[in-house]
Structure 1
Amino acid sequence: MSSQESVTSSITVQAENIGGIDSTEVRLEPGVNVLTGRNATNRTSFLQTIMAALGSRRSSLKGDADTGSVELTFDDERYTRSLERRNGEVVFDGDPYLENPELADLFAFLLESNEARRAVRAGDDLRELIMRPIDTDEIEAEISSLEAEKRELDDRLEELARLDTELPDLEEDRVALEDEIETKTERIDALETELEAFDLDVEASRARKDEIESAFADLQEARTELESIEYDLETERESYTELEGERDELEQELEAFGDEQESPDRLEGRVQELRARKRSLDTTVSELQSVIRFNEERLAEDGFELDLEETVESDGETDDDITEQLLADSDDVICWTCGSQVDRERVETTIDRLRSLRQRKLDERSELQERIDELATRRKELRERSQKRGEIETRLEAIDDELERRAQRIEDLEADLEDQQARVDDLESDAETFENAEYGDVIETHREQNRLELERENLEAERDEVQARIDEIEGQIEERDELAGRRETVEDELTDLRTRVDRIEENAVDAFNEHMDSILSILEYRNIDRIWIERRETTVREGRRKVSRTAFDLHIVRTTEDGRTYEDTVDHLSESEREVTGLVFALAGYLVHDVYKVVPFMLLDSLEAIDSNRIADLVEYFEEYVDCLVVALLREDAEALADSYTYVEQI
C-alpha cells in the first residue's frame, strides 16, 4: 500500500547506547527488512532504536550509559533523538519523525510489549484500545459548535422565507402608489392649464397676480415644513415608546437573574481540583493494572525458576534435598519478591484484593468524571448568565441615554411645531385678504394645486420607502441559496461527526474479521473455523448512572474431529494462534486509523511462537500494507522468507 508518508530511498539508522547497543550503523531499504541472528543479538534493541527516532518513548537507555542518541535518515530528511539519564529517569529530546507517537505505539510498533498484542493475549477490552486515539471531547465540542451554527442558519433561512412572502404585498403597494401619483399629477397638470387660461392682461392685474402667487407659494412652503415637523415628531414619539417598552422588558429580564451566589471562578477551581484527583486516580489504576498483570504472569509461570546447581553449591544441599524440593507440594510457588515458597492460594487472594481495589478506583474515577461534568456545565451556565446580565445592563444604560436624548428632541420639535403652526396661520390670514370676486377662482385653483402637490410629494416619499424595502429584501434573499448550501454542508458534517465513532468501531470490526478470515485461510490452523469480533451494545454503570456502551466480543469457532462445531475462548488458543490474532488486531487498527498516513514503518518482533512457514506467509501478507516493514527473527525462522527481502545479520 502506497502511503501518504512513503519511503522512496534507503534508510540509514545510527545509534549509540540504546538498549543493549553500544554503537551501530545499519542500512535498510523500502519493503521488507529482516533482522536475523541468535537471541541476545540486539535485534529488539535495534527496533527500539527505530522507535525512538520515530518519536516513541518506549525505548531504553543502555544500563551502563548516562546518554544515548539515534539518527534516522531517509528521503533527504534527518531525524534525531537523544536520551539522557536524569535523577533516575530517562529524558528524551531531539527532533523525531512524529510529534505524537500514540498511533504508532499502538498499531505500528508491534513488539512483544505492544498493547494491541497484549490485549488479545490477556482478553482485555479491545474496543477501548481501538477507540483510545479518538478524542471524543473534541468531537462533542465540534458537534456543539456546528449545532449552534445550524440553529443560526435555520433562523436566518426562516427569516428570509418570511421576507419572501412579504414581497408580493410590497409590489402591490408600490403599483397602487404609482397609480395614485399618476392621478395626482394629471390633476395638477389640469389645474396648471386652468391658471394659464385666466385673463389677467392688465399690468395692475399682473402685479396683483404675482403678489397672489407669491403669497400662496409662501403658504405652501410653510405647510410643507409643518407636515415635516409633524412627521419627525411622530417618529420620535414612536421611537421613545419602543425604547420604553424595550427598557421594561430588559428590566424584567434583569430582575429574573436575581443575586448570583455562585462564582464561576470558584467552580473552575473546584473542577481543576477534581481533574487533578482524576489524573491521580488514572495513574493509580494504571499502576494497579500493571502490578496485577505482572503478578498474574508470574503466577502462571509458578514464580521464578531456581538454579538448582547454584542452590547446591551455595547451600550444600544433597541429592535427597533436591529431590525433596522437586516433590514438594505443587500448590506452592516461588515468591518473586523474596525467593521463598508461598502458598498459591495466598498469592491469588492478594491478586483478587488488588483487582477489587482497582475496581473501586475505577468506580471512584467514574463518579469524579460525573461530578466534573456537572460542575463544568454549571460553570458554563453561570458564565453565560453573567455575560447575558452584563449585556442587559450595558443595553439599559444605552437606552437611558437614548431616551434622554429623544425626550429633548421631542421637546424641541413640539416648540418648532407650535412656532410653525403660528406661521401657517398668519400666512393663511394673509391669503384670505386676496379673496374677492375678481380673484376668487384663481385663489381656489392655487389652493387646490398646492394641496395636490403636497399630497403627491408624500405619496412619492412613501413609494420610495416601499421601493427601498423591496430592494433590501431582494438583496437579502439573494444569499438564501448560499445559506441553504452551507446548512446542507453543516448537516453533513454533523452526521459525519455523530456517526464517526460508530463508523470507526464498525470499520475496525470489519477489518479484523476480513483480515482474520484471510490469514486463517493462508496459515491453515487445524480445527479453527473462524476467529471473529462481534460488536454489541451493553449497559454499564458509571458512578450512580447506567449508560449504554459498545463492547467487542472475540469469538473462536472450532470443529472437532467428528465434525461438531463449538465456540472456544482465547485462553484455549495456542500461543501461536494468540500471537497471530493479536497481530491481525493491530493491523486492523493500523488500517482503520490510517496509521500508514502518519508513519511509513511497521516493526515486528517476538514471533518465535509461530512456525517459520507461517511467519513467512504473515510477513508477505503484512508487506502489502506497509512501505517499510522491519522484522526481527531467529536465523532458522528467517530461512523460510523470500530471498528478495533485505537481510541484516550484524547490528
Structure 2
Amino acid sequence: MELQQSSQPDGTIHAENIGGIQETTVEFSPGITILVGRNATNRTSFLQAVMAALGSENVSLKGDADEASVELTLGDETYTRRLSRRAGGVVTDGDPYLEDPTLADLFAFLLESNEARRAVAANDDLRELIMRPVDTEAIQNEIDQLVQERQSLQRKLEEIDDKKGKLPQLEAQQTQLKDDIAEKKAELEAKEEELEAADADVEETREEKSELEDKLADLRSKRSDLDDIRFDLETERESLEALTSEQRELENELDELPETPLGELEEIDSELERLRNRKRALETEVNELQSVIGFNEEMLEEADSDAFEALTEDSSGDVTDQLLPDETVTCWTCGSEVETAQIESTLDQLRQLSQTKLGDVNDIDDEISEVSDRKRELEQSQRERDRLERRLSDIETEIDRGEDTIDRLQTRREELTDEIETIEAAVEEREDENYSAVLDLHKEANQLEYELGRLENDLERVEGEIADIESQIDEQDDIEAQLEEVKAEIEDRRTAIDRIEANAVEEFNEHMDTVLEMLDYANIERIWIERVERDVREGRRKVTKSIFELHVIRTAESGAAYEDTVDHLSESEREVTGLVFALAGYLAHEVYEKVPFMLLDSLEAIDADRIATLIDYLNEYTGYLLVALLPEDAAALPDEYERVTEI
C-alpha cells in the first residue's frame, strides 16, 4: 500500500457552507492526515466536504445558507460539487470523483452515522449490507444470455454428432456410386459401339436420323426433369414432416408455459416505482434527520465545552457551586432556556426515529428484491413464450411454403408425364422394320446416359454432404472450446454472489483476528462471522438465503471459552467490530480501486493507544486516510503523521 500512497498526488479541499463551515481551504498529503480539535470545530463538516467532492449525497448545508460548493484538487485533476436548497430537499450538480457513491458511502466514509459501523451495534442484517451494491438482476440477465448461447452451441455439437454418424454411410454410398458410374460408363461405351455397328447397316436419311435423335434427346431431358421432380417431392415431404413434428413439440411446450396474467407486469412496474419512490423519500428523511442530529450534537457539545471552560476560568465562589454548574442551556433554535437533559432526550428520540426509518428502508429493500424476482420470472416466461410463438409463426410460414411447393411440383410432374408420353408416341411412329432395332439401341443408349447423369448427380450430392460434414467436424474443437468458455462464464456469474459473500466473511474474520490480537481486549477470545444457509419465507415461497451470523467468543476467569452476544460487547469493542466489518466490505468490493479515500470520525469510545494501533493498521489499505480526533487521542499518534488543527 505504500506504493499506492506514493503514487497519489497531494490534495486540496476548498469548501463553502458545508455543515458548520462557512469557508475553508485545507491541504493534505497521501497517507494519514489527522484532523485535530475539540468537538464543534468543524472536523466532521470537513469530512462531509470531502465526501461531497467524492460524490456522496450524505452531506448537509450550513443552516443559514441556501447554496454550498466544494472543490477537490488532486494533482492536475479537479472535482467539483454544488449543493442548492430547494423545496423538498437539496439538489446537487457538478463533476464529482465518483459517478456512483454507493460503495464509498457504505465502506469508505466511516463517520458516526455510517451504516456498516452501526450495523454491528444494532444487530442489523450484515449480509444485506455487504450485498447491497451487487446488481443481482444484471448478473441474472447475463446468466440468461449465456444460457441461450450455451444451448445454441450444444445444438451445433449435437448436429455435428448426428452428421458424424451419417459419415460412414455416406462414404460407403460414395464408393458404391463411383463403382456404379464406372460400370454404367462401360455399359454405355459397349452400347455405343453396338449402335455404331448397327447404324452402318441401316440406310436412313440424315434428316430422319437427326429428327429422331432430337426426339430422343428431348425424351432423355424430360425423363431427367421428371426424376429430379420426384426427388424434390420426396425431399419436400420429409421436410414438411419434420416441420410438422417440431410444430407439435413447440405447441406442447407453449401449452406447458404458465400464462402471464394480463397487466401483471405493468402492475409490478408500478409497484416497483412506488417502492423506489418510497425508499428515496425515506432516505431523504434519514439524511435530513442525520443532519439535524449531527448539528444538534455539535451545538450541545459546544455548549458543554463552553460551560467547562467557564468553570475552569472562574475560581471564585463556592467549590460546590463550581462542581455543580447550571444544567440548562440556551436553545439555539428558539432562544429560551431549556434543560440539557430535555435536549438530549429529544436527540435520543431523533436517533430512535432515524433507526426506525433505516429499518423501514431495509424492509422496502426486501420488498423490492421480492417484487424484482417475480418480475424477472414473468419476463423470463414471457421471453420464452415470445420465442416459441415466433418459431411457431416461422414454421407455419415454412409449412405453407412447403405445401405450395409440393402442389407446384405435383402439377409439374403430371405435365412432364404427359409430355413424355407424347414424345414416346412420336418416337414409336418412326419405328419400322428397317431400323426398329436401331431405335431400340438408341433408346437403350439414351437410358444409359440418363442413368449415368443421375449417378453423377448423386455422387456430387454425396460428396458435397461429406465435405460439409468434414468442414463442420473441423469446427468442432472451436465450438467445444467456446462451449467450455461459456459454461465457465455461467459458473463464474452464478458464483459471483457466493464469492463476494465468502470473500467478505473471510476478510472480516482475518482482519478481526489480527485487530483483536493487536488491541488485546482482555476477555475476548474471538469475534467472527459465520456464513450459513437459512430457509426463509418470501411471500408465498420458501427460499434458501445466506445469513451472516456474528459470534462473540469470550474467556472466563477459569480460562474456559464461551459464546456471548453482541449486546454484551463494550462500546469500544462494538466500535472496533463495526470498523473492521466496514474494512471487510472495503476490501471485498475492492473499493480502493474506485476511490482511494477512507474517512474516520467519532472514535471517542476507543482509547487513544488502541486508536493509534487501529489507524496504523487501516493505513495499509488506502491512499488517503483522513481521521478526526480529539487532541488527547491525536497525541498518541506518531509526530510524522500530517495534522490539520484549523478548519
* Fold shared, TM-score > 0.5 on shorter chain: yes
Number of residue pairs aligned between Structure 1 and Structure 2: 608
Measure the CA separation in 1 of the matches of 2:94 and 2:251: 59
Measure the CA separation in 2 of the matches of 1:261 and 1:555: 44
Change (3 A) 1:3 1:569: farther
Following TM superposition, by how much is the alpha carbon of 1:12 offset from its aligned partner in structure 2, in angstroms?
1.4
Residue in structure 1 matched with residue 488 of structure 2 by the alignment: 492
Matches within 5 A, 1:27-426: 27-87=27-87, 89-194=89-194, 200=200, 208=204, 214=210, 217-235=213-231, 237-238=233-234, 241=237, 266-279=263-276, 282=279, 373-374=373-374, 377-378=377-378, 381=381, 384-385=384-385, 388-389=388-389, 392-393=392-393, 396=396, 399-400=399-400, 403-404=403-404, 407-408=407-408, 410-426=410-426
Following TM superposition, by how much is the alpha carbon of 1:422 offset from its aligned partner in structure 2, in angstroms?
0.8
Following TM superposition, by how much is the alpha carbon of 1:432 offset from its aligned partner in structure 2, in angstroms?
4.4
Q: Is the 8 A contact 1:367 1:543 kept in 2?
A: no
Measure the CA separation in 2 of the matches of 1:598 and 1:367: 29
Residue in structure 1 matched with residue 331 of structure 2 by the alignment: none
Q: Deviations over 1:393-427 (max 9, x none)?
A: 56545644664465345324422431232112212
Where do 5+ consecutive residues of structure 1 fail to align?
298-302, 311-318, 326-332
Deviates more, 1:5-14 or 1:64-73: 5-14
Measure the CA separation in 2 of the matches of 1:644 and 1:520: 26
Residue in structure 2 matched with residue 315 of structure 1 by the alignment: none
Measure the CA separation in 2 of the matches of 1:49 and 1:119: 24
Deviates more, 1:587-596 or 1:177-186: 177-186
Q: Deviations over 1:123-182 (max 9, x none)?
A: 222111111111222222222222222222212211111111111111111111111111
Q: Is the 8 A contact 2:220 2:446 kept in 1?
A: no
Following TM superposition, by how much is the alpha carbon of 1:38 offset from its aligned partner in structure 2, in angstroms?
2.5
Q: Residue type of the partner of 2:580?
A: V
Following TM superposition, by how much is the alpha carbon of 1:470 offset from its aligned partner in structure 2, in angstroms?
1.0
Measure the CA separation in 2 of the matches of 1:585 and 1:507: 12
Q: Residue type of the partner of 1:93?
A: D
Q: Are 1:475 and 2:466 counterparts?
A: no
Q: Residue type of the partner of 1:79?
A: Y
Residue in structure 2 matched with residue 300 of structure 1 by the alignment: none
Residue in structure 2 matched with residue 314 of structure 1 by the alignment: none
Deviates more, 1:457-466 or 1:118-127: 118-127
Q: Is the 8 A contact 2:220 2:447 kept in 1?
A: no
Measure the CA separation in 2 of the matches of 1:100 and 1:371: 24
Residue in structure 2 matched with residue 581 of structure 1 by the alignment: 577
Measure the CA separation in 1 of the matches of 2:286 and 2:67: 31
Residue in structure 1 matched with residue 562 of structure 2 by the alignment: 566
Change (3 A) 1:535 1:575: same
Following TM superposition, by how much is the alpha carbon of 1:7 offset from its aligned partner in structure 2, in angstroms?
5.2
Following TM superposition, by how much is the alpha carbon of 1:57 offset from its aligned partner in structure 2, in angstroms?
0.6
Q: Residue type of the partner of 1:186?
A: A
Following TM superposition, by how much is the alpha carbon of 1:594 offset from its aligned partner in structure 2, in angstroms?
0.5
Residue in structure 2 matched with residue 628 of structure 1 by the alignment: 624
Deviates more, 1:375-384 or 1:466-475: 375-384
Q: Residue type of the partner of 2:44?
A: T
Q: Is the 8 A contact 1:5 1:598 kept in 2?
A: no
TM-score between the two structures when normalised by the length of structure 2: 0.82
Change (3 A) 1:574 1:291: farther
Q: Is the 8 A contact 1:3 1:596 kept in 2?
A: no
Matches within 5 A, 1:506-517: 506-517=502-513
Residue in structure 2 matched with residue 26 of structure 1 by the alignment: 26
Q: Is the 8 A contact 1:363 1:543 kept in 2?
A: no
Change (3 A) 1:145 1:37: same
Q: Is the 8 A contact 1:184 1:456 kept in 2?
A: yes
Q: Is the 8 A contact 1:233 1:414 kept in 2?
A: no
Change (3 A) 1:603 1:151: same
Instruction: Compute the RMSD of aligned alpha carbons.
Output: 4.3
Q: Deviations over 1:104-133 (max 9, x none)?
A: 001111111111111112222211111111
**Percent of aligned pairs sharing the same letter:** 45
SS at match of 2:627: strand
Q: Residue type of the partner of 1:180?
A: D
Change (3 A) 1:218 1:631: same
Following TM superposition, by how much is the alpha carbon of 1:42 offset from its aligned partner in structure 2, in angstroms?
1.3
Q: Is the 8 A contact 2:529 2:550 kept in 1?
A: yes
Change (3 A) 1:56 1:551: same
Q: Is the 8 A contact 1:366 1:543 kept in 2?
A: no
Deviates more, 1:75-84 or 1:217-226: 217-226
Q: Is the 8 A contact 2:5 2:622 kept in 1?
A: no
Measure the CA separation in 2 of the matches of 1:170 and 1:131: 57
Change (3 A) 1:533 1:288: farther
Measure the CA separation in 2 of the matches of 1:580 and 1:42: 24
SS at match of 2:133: coil
Q: Are 1:541 and 2:537 counterparts?
A: yes
Q: Is the 8 A contact 1:7 1:628 kept in 2?
A: no
Q: Deviations over 1:169-198 (max 9, x none)?
A: 111111111111112222333444455667
Matches within 5 A, 1:583-598: 583-598=579-594
Measure the CA separation in 1 of the matches of 2:382 and 2:406: 36
Q: Is the 8 A contact 1:240 1:407 kept in 2?
A: no
Following TM superposition, by how much is the alpha carbon of 1:512 offset from its aligned partner in structure 2, in angstroms?
0.8
Measure the CA separation in 2 of the matches of 1:365 and 1:618: 33
Q: Deviations over 1:50-93 (max 9, x none)?
A: 10000001111111111111111113211100011111522111
TM-score between the two structures when normalised by the length of structure 1: 0.81
SS at match of 1:624: helix
Following TM superposition, by how much is the alpha carbon of 1:288 offset from its aligned partner in structure 2, in angstroms?
11
Change (3 A) 1:512 1:405: closer
Following TM superposition, by how much is the alpha carbon of 1:521 offset from its aligned partner in structure 2, in angstroms?
1.5
Measure the CA separation in 2 of the matches of 1:273 and 1:6: 50
Where do 5+ consecutive residues of structure 2 fail to align?
295-299, 308-320, 328-339
Following TM superposition, by how much is the alpha carbon of 1:485 offset from its aligned partner in structure 2, in angstroms?
0.9
Measure the CA separation in 2 of the matches of 1:498 and 1:565: 38
Measure the CA separation in 1 of the matches of 2:373 and 2:241: 39
Following TM superposition, by how much is the alpha carbon of 1:238 offset from its aligned partner in structure 2, in angstroms?
3.9
Following TM superposition, by how much is the alpha carbon of 1:471 offset from its aligned partner in structure 2, in angstroms?
1.4
Q: Are 1:554 and 2:557 counterparts?
A: no
Measure the CA separation in 1 of the matches of 2:130 and 2:547: 11
